[in-house]
A and B are shown apart, each in its own frame.
Chain A
């Protein structure tokens, strides 16, 4: 019996255990969404109960779910498209034509992620107010793009670095200009990487709560604001909050499930040479 076949079942068990541990809170939330408010907080916790759709009915009666969901889709996909559009040329330049300051620039970009968002809340709020962007999807698209751009640039930079420079040189010798090189040579090769970067960016934008709660009111409020409206410091709310959360994560969960092959391919891109 080889070493590999000995360790595989153990590693597999750990992987299953980790997956179950990670999925358990989501499973519990979905379960709670079908309980009554009293059932959701019962001690000991109820595992066998009569499921009810009352929470979903209440939620759909109180809030316009589709409007929140549409805002989430537009904002997260819009911000991702814009971020990729800006990051591809930036990462290309830094990967294939590095200068003495490239590394420093990359680190500086990453360091902007270390600033607590609340530190810039007032200036950004005032800016949005003055240019009429409060409670607009445009404001969120811009914010999410700026917020996630460092990660997108870093990821694309890493993928581009994996590409042999000779391919670029060959295409230039064949007469392709920079734009043609990027579009016709580089992008098809790093497509899995770009796809996984885009997927990650969509998920990050979908789950973002600080700016979506602070910059929107009604018209542009995404699903994070929808969830926040079902939490309460006075009164029982767990079952409804669980139902609202289930409805909020459902689209991105389905999207992630469908695109998981692409995501894994992208994340392991270049890992084995």
Chain B
């Protein structure tokens, strides 16, 4: 009897110890299919570790504002944050994030593409681990090209893209030669336009942080963009962001679309796309240079310095961004939907290559997107479709609004750029970059 009591007591103690070590972590993330899949699969990690996850899912812009407030004030409401390659180095330098360089050897840091690792590092340390990465490239309708006797080159120029668009536009049948982002925002129209300006040989700042928005490449690029969209773009393009163009392309209204590589999986999904078997992929267009002609972005996961469960949070990250996780997604949900653009091993997997015909083009686009050399001439900043300084979000959105106004015909491209130059110069002076 006494032995039974002793055994029961020990078992109870062991259970209590187990319960005490289990923790609840809160993860703030964006609402996209990859993150929702992670949420769906996370009970497996919970079951394995005994820990619990509270999910806070928000729209990207709301999330950005929400987590910025929390991390800047050390609010400590989240243990894991979903952040981009823009925020990671800035927040890492501020010591707002914990370094993530102590995962077990099986995590295999070297399997992550070097460019992705660099984009998520500051002072030589990784401050976030990539969930997926993307570049931009050109989607085109193979059937329309074939019908018109056109051939899409492997590395098209913007002049060629314009010629194709002119030939493939048939507004009477709601077929538009090209669909491009027009909705104002640093992550919307400016993400595309920045790559276009880079391809035309332009840059945001010279080596002395002097704004360059009235330089010839900017004028040429913006005039080209506005003219092309007026001739061959869909109506109401100033309201079109990623989703709107995705809808236009997948319902057969666009002959070409230059946008995020992550859209490839959606365009290829026969359940939601009418052009799944008619779409081809090629690199983002270049013009005078191919530096920065395709963007780089990664949605990554970081642990704020204010987290009270950092150890458990890191354990989850090591699971959710591992090679095993990629395999698990491939085997449970299909290989076309595995998180793309982060690991060599994903692209060495024959099952993935077979299921995703766009995989090699995506990989090539991501590998060629060098955020440390984004422009033809040297610049003092990193970032292709953004400038990795805290002031950029506001500047980018303001310039995006002026670009959108030029597209709407409310002002000429020259007027828009003059105003943009004045506004950016003022911000840079206030921020102390310019004397």
Instruction: Kindly state whether residue B280 has any CB partner on chain A within 8 Å.
Output: no
Q: Are B77 and A134 in contact (CB under 8 A)?
A: yes
> In the complex, how many angstroms separate the beta carbon of A272 from the nearest chain B beta carbon?
46
- Given known contacts A62-B39, A233-B187, A218 and B75 CB-to-CB distance under 8 angstroms: no
Q: Are B241 and A229 in contact (CB under 8 A)?
A: no
Q: Are B272 and A213 in contact (CB under 8 A)?
A: no
> In the complex, how many angstroms separate the beta carbon of A45 from the nearest chain B beta carbon?
12
In the complex, chain B residues whose CB is within 8 Å of the CB of A234: 32, 60, 242-243, 260, 262-263
In the complex, chain A residues whose CB is within 8 Å of the CB of B32: 232, 234-235
Within 8 A of A (CB), among B271-294: 271-272
Q: Are A214 and B243 in contact (CB under 8 A)?
A: no
Instruction: Identify which of A41, A126, A135, A221 contacts B73 (C-beta below 8 A).
Output: A126
- Given known contacts A43-B251, A214-B66, A217-B26, A233 and B59 CB-to-CB distance under 8 angstroms: yes
In the complex, chain A residues whose CB is within 8 Å of the CB of B39: 62
Majority DSSP secondary structure for residues of B touching A: mixed
Residue in chain A with minimal CB distance to B262: A234
Q: How many angstroms from the CA of A219 to the CA of B246 in the assembled complex? A: 35
Residue in chain A with minimal CB distance to B259: A234
Q: Are B77 and A230 in contact (CB under 8 A)?
A: no
> In the complex, how many angstroms separate the beta carbon of A96 from the nearest chain B beta carbon?
43
Q: Mark A121-136, 1 if CB is under 8 A from B, else 0.
A: 1100110010000110
Q: Are A37 and B272 in contact (CB under 8 A)?
A: yes
Instruction: Kindly state whether residue B394 has any CB partner on chain A within 8 Å.
Output: no
Q: Are B30 and A232 in contact (CB under 8 A)?
A: yes
Instruction: Kindly state whether residue A42 has any CB partner on chain B within 8 Å.
Output: yes
Q: Mark B240-265, 1 if CB is under 8 A from A, else 0.
A: 01110011001101000000101100
Q: Are A217 and B77 in contact (CB under 8 A)?
A: yes
Instruction: Kindly state whether residue B179 has any CB partner on chain A within 8 Å.
Output: no
In the complex, chain A residues whose CB is within 8 Å of the CB of B33: 235
Residue in chain B with minimal CB distance to A231: B59
In the complex, chain B residues whose CB is within 8 Å of the CB of A41: 247, 251
Instruction: Kindly state whether residue A170 has any CB partner on chain B within 8 Å.
Output: no
Q: Are A125 and B73 in contact (CB under 8 A)?
A: yes
Q: Are A236 and B59 in contact (CB under 8 A)?
A: no
Residue in chain A with minimal CB distance to B274: A38
Instruction: Identify which of B31, B77, B247, B251 contacts A229 (C-beta below 8 A).
Output: B31
Q: Are A233 and B60 in contact (CB under 8 A)?
A: yes
Instruction: Identify which of B76, B78, B247 contacts A236 (C-beta below 8 A).
Output: B247
Query: Which one of B50-58, B96-104, B152-160, B199-207 is at the interface?
Result: B50-58
Q: How many angstroms from the CA of A135 to the CA of B54 in the assembled complex? A: 12
Within 8 A of A (CB), among B186-207: 187-188
In the complex, chain B residues whose CB is within 8 Å of the CB of A38: 250-251, 271-272
Instruction: Kindly state whether residue B150 has any CB partner on chain A within 8 Å.
Output: no
Q: Are B69 and A125 in contact (CB under 8 A)?
A: yes
Within 8 A of B (CB), among A13-48: 37-38, 41-43
Q: How large is the interface on A (under 10, 10 to 19, 20 to 34, 35 or more residues)?
A: 20 to 34
Within 8 A of A (CB), among B26-79: 26, 28, 30-33, 36, 39, 54-62, 65-66, 69-70, 73-78
Q: Are B242 and A217 in contact (CB under 8 A)?
A: no
Instruction: Kindly state whether residue B161 has any CB partner on chain A within 8 Å.
Output: no
Q: Mark B300-331, 1 if CB is under 8 A from A, else 0.
A: 00000000000000000000000000000000
Number of interface residues of B (CB under 8 A): 43
Q: How many angstroms from the CA of A1 to the CA of B251 in the assembled complex? A: 57
- Given known contacts A62-B36, A229-B57, A231-B59, A129 and B243 CB-to-CB distance under 8 angstroms: no
Q: Are A218 and B54 in contact (CB under 8 A)?
A: yes
In the complex, chain A residues whose CB is within 8 Å of the CB of B262: 234
Q: How many angstroms from the CA of A221 to the CA of B187 in the assembled complex? A: 27
Report the number of A-B residue pairs with Cβ-Cβ less than 8 Å.
95
Instruction: Kindly state whether residue A237 has any CB partner on chain B within 8 Å.
Output: yes
> In the complex, how many angstroms separate the beta carbon of A61 from the nearest chain B beta carbon?
9
In the complex, chain A residues whose CB is within 8 Å of the CB of B408: none
Q: Mark A220-252, 1 if CB is under 8 A from B, else 0.
A: 010001001111111111000000000000000
Q: Are A217 and B272 in contact (CB under 8 A)?
A: no
Instruction: Kindly state whether residue B367 has any CB partner on chain A within 8 Å.
Output: no
Q: How many angstroms from the CA of A4 to the CA of B338 in the assembled complex? A: 69
Q: How many angstroms from the CA of A129 to the CA of B69 in the assembled complex? A: 11
* Most chain B Cβ neighbours within 10 Å, of A37, A42, A63, A217: A217
Q: How many angstroms from the CA of A235 to the CA of B56 in the assembled complex? A: 19
Instruction: Kindly state whether residue B266 has any CB partner on chain A within 8 Å.
Output: yes
In the complex, chain A residues whose CB is within 8 Å of the CB of B73: 122, 125-126, 129
In the complex, chain B residues whose CB is within 8 Å of the CB of A218: 26, 54-56
* Most chain A Cβ neighbours within 10 Å, of B26, B73, B266: B73
In the complex, chain B residues whose CB is within 8 Å of the CB of A230: 31
Q: How many angstroms from the CA of A214 to the CA of B75 in the assembled complex? A: 11
In the complex, chain B residues whose CB is within 8 Å of the CB of A122: 69, 73
Residue in chain B with minimal CB distance to A41: B247
Q: How many angstroms from the CA of A175 to the CA of B155 in the assembled complex? A: 93
In the complex, chain A residues whose CB is within 8 Å of the CB of B26: 217-218
Instruction: Identify which of A125, A229, A236 contacts B75 (C-beta below 8 A).
Output: A125
In the complex, chain B residues whose CB is within 8 Å of the CB of A217: 26, 28, 54, 56, 77-78
Listed by A's residue number, 29 A-B pairs whose Cβ atoms lie within 8 Å are A38-B251, A38-B271, A38-B272, A41-B247, A42-B251, A121-B69, A129-B74, A134-B76, A214-B65, A218-B26, A218-B54, A218-B55, A218-B56, A221-B56, A225-B58, A229-B31, A232-B30, A232-B31, A232-B32, A233-B60, A233-B61, A234-B242, A234-B260, A234-B263, A235-B32, A235-B33, A235-B246, A236-B246, A236-B266
Considering the complex of A and B, which 8 residue pairs feature the smallest CB-CB distances, nearest first?
A: A229-B57, A231-B59, A218-B54, A232-B31, A217-B77, A41-B247, A233-B60, A129-B75
| Interface, chain A (partner B; CB < 8 A) | 37-38, 41-43, 62-63, 121-122, 125-126, 129, 134-135, 213-214, 217-219, 221, 225, 228-237
Known pairs A43-B251, A129-B73 / 20 extra A-B pairs, C-beta < 8 Å: A37-B272, A41-B247, A62-B39, A62-B57, A129-B74, A134-B75, A134-B76, A213-B66, A214-B66, A225-B58, A228-B59, A229-B58, A232-B32, A233-B60, A233-B188, A234-B32, A235-B32, A236-B243, A236-B272, A237-B243
